Amino acid sequence: MLQVSALRQDAGKVREKLAVKNFKNMALIDEIIALDDERKKIQTDFDNNQSKINSISKSIGQLMAQGKKQEAEAAKAEVSALKPTLEPLKQKMAEAEENLYRMLVQLPNLPHDKVPAGNNAEDNVVVKEGGNIPELYEGAVPHWELIKTYDIVDFETGAKITGSGFPLFKGKGAKLQRSLVQYFLDFNTAAGYTEYNPPFMVNEASAYATGQLPDKEGQMYHVTEDNLYLIPTSEVPVTNIYRDEILKEEKLPLKMTAHSPCFRREAGSFGKDVRGLNRVHQFEKVEIVQITHPDASNQALDDMVAHVESLLQSLELPYRILLLCGGDMSFTSHITYDFEVYSAAQGRWLEVSSVSNFHNYQANRLKCRFKNNEGKTQLVHTLNGSSMALPRIIAAILENNQQAGSIRVPEVLQPYFGADKIEK
């Protein structure tokens, strides 16, 4: 959440930055400043009346001690007249603060100076490519055919149990997914990330704190009776571990990793992007999260990008890294790098990871702060990245490693999988 002070300091600069994200409701900035002016006036009236009450109350005892009973009674009457004004002002202040919060959460995060302008994924900038695109043998097929041939994922039974977009992994497919999860967690913990196993549902406060609400309300599965939300990523519960906390400076950075199922309605998705494992409603993902000192978040972002890149290199997958344009960034992101792997049988790039720095945007919503050595309290910076999302990684592994009669398992996964190939 943006801070009102940032809007007041340079509203023109804020508008300029929000335009990079194609934000349209610029009038909201003036409305927020006007409401904050009103809130400040109410606060001033309340403080003045409270100060008068305190001052007059203090004088009553002195007047009584001096035998000035009449003046003391008049002072008591004045206090009695002022006291009833406090509660209405307190209520008005609470209403103004609530309305101010509701308006502020409608503003997206401001993009970093590096973020290019653009409308959609076509305007993203490729900053790096790595790995070799394989030449497949004649007769190679996309993963949605391979999973049937090798009987490792069953979409039909998944649809019977739940609905379309809920795959049922089985046999070696289930083992491959479990192997990837364990490998990713081991890779992350070896890099200093502490592993967590979080709840898979969160309350409304948690969803607001990390920015999923109100922006992605239609994309989240909502358990209405309990007002809980199935998580779209473990970023949400893991980051909320430190909601409403004041950390010690020496405790930073906090590095966390977690595996969880992820649930996304993916409303409006259609066409080639939803074939097979390309887009599903439930999937497994391993996440990395960092909470850092403000001065360290840019370096932390670079480190996380390098971390994810080394993961893809270890899986022997061709990849590219993209700097997202303003129009393709998430609501909460300050700057985001996407990772895509090349799916040889489909002949297209598939997004498998996003690594983002949220600056102090999430921290302001979370009220997550730290106290420096001088005793000053500041907002932390938060970052997160997919490390990794499994469906498209599995799709690329199956497609890029298919051979006549088998599918090769990447070398780093073989100790986890217990074999060097998947056979019919």
Q: Strand pairing partners for 391?
A: none
Task: Evaluate whether 22 touches 117 at the Cβ level (below 8 Å).
Answer: no
CA 383 to chain centroid, in Å, comes to 8
Question: Is 234 labelled as part of a ligand binding site?
Answer: no
Is 423 among the annotated ligand-binding positions?
no
Q: Is 266 annotated as a binding residue?
A: yes
Q: Is 233 annotated as a binding residue?
A: yes
Tokens representing 336 are 């985001």
The answer to whether 373 is a known ligand-binding residue is no
The amino acid at residue 197 is: N
In eight-state DSSP terms, residue 164 is: T
Tell me: is residue 287 an annotated ligand-binding position.
yes
Q: Is 354 annotated as a binding residue?
A: yes
Which contacts qualify for 406-410: CB closer than 8 Å, 24 or more apart? 407/146, 407/150, 409/176, 410/314, 410/315, 410/316
Please name the residue ranges forming H helices in 25-118: 27-65, 69-104
15 is in an annotated binding site: no
* 3-state SS, residue 318: coil
- 3 state SS of 413: helix
Return d(Cα 297, Cα 178) in angstroms, integer: 32
Query: In terms of Cα–Cα distance, which of 406, 408, 405 is closest to 317?
Result: 408
Check the annotation: does 16 bind a ligand. no
Contact 382, 291 (CB under 8 A): yes
> In whole angstroms, what is the distance from residue 186 CA to residue 179 CA?
11
> How far is 405 from 424, CA to CA, in rounded Å?
7
Kindly state the tokens that stand for 83: 């006291």
138 is in an annotated binding site: no
Residue 314 is labelled as binding a ligand:
no
Known binding residue 369? Answer is no
H/E segment holding residue 236: helix 235-239
Tell me whether residue 309 is annotated as binding.
Answer: no
- 254 three-state secondary structure: strand
How far is the C-alpha of 40 from the C-alpha of 400, rounded, in Å?
61
Q: Is 279 annotated as a binding residue?
A: no
Binding-site entries for ATP: 264-266, 280-283, 351-354
Binding-site entries for L-serine: 233, 264, 287, 384
Binding-site entries: 233, 264-266, 280-283, 287, 351-354, 384
